[in-house]
Amino acid sequence: MDDRLGRGKWAFWLFVAALAALTAVPSASLLRAARAYYRFLTGAAPDTIRPSHPRSLDLGRPAEAMPDRDLRLAEFRLGAPKAGQVEIVGDFCGWKPAGLRLSRGAGGTWEIMLPLPPGSYRYEFIVDGQNRPDPRAPVAAGPDGRKVSERKVR
């Protein structure tokens, strides 16, 4: 009787150890992703946000005049459920497509969060190669006179 009880204990503890090992791998991956996201939000790792880092933005003023602590996260969204790819261009990237691609969200909504210093920005979306203003934002005149959108970051 003791022999069966002893084998049962070993089987139980082996099962618990295997279960702990299986749950540790996804937990470690989740923890690593959470740390990377925290570094992104706090600016501790500027390499993660290099495409829109203020030192690479063309705002007509020197980079030294834009301290990193004055950045705000501005969210841009566009509803385009049938689009294959959506990018954003504007004053913050010198109107050059700088690889600022929006991520597809739920329900066909495309979104991106850009760290920008406070100010007013003109922008437009590029939906499958076609320029398109934001239908939810006020209209402004673009650099070549066409209608674009305007966004104030406070």
Number of domains in the chain: 2
Task: Provide the CATH number for the domain around residue 53.
Answer: 2.60.40.10
Question: What's the mean pLDDT in 50-79?
Answer: 63
- Distances, alpha carbon 44 to alpha carbons 1, 40, 141, in Å: 60, 7, 36
Which residue, 40, 41, 44, 68, is CA-closest to 54?
68
Identify the weakest region by mean pLDDT among 38-47, 79-88, 111-120.
38-47
Q: Is 90 in contact with 121 (CB distance < 8 Å)?
A: yes
Under DSSP, the state recorded for 32 is H
Q: Which domain holds residue 147?
A: 49-153
**Residue 38 sits in the same domain as residue 54:** no
* Predicted structure pTM score: 0.56
- Model pLDDT for residues 3-13, shown as the tens digit of each residue: 666 778 888 89
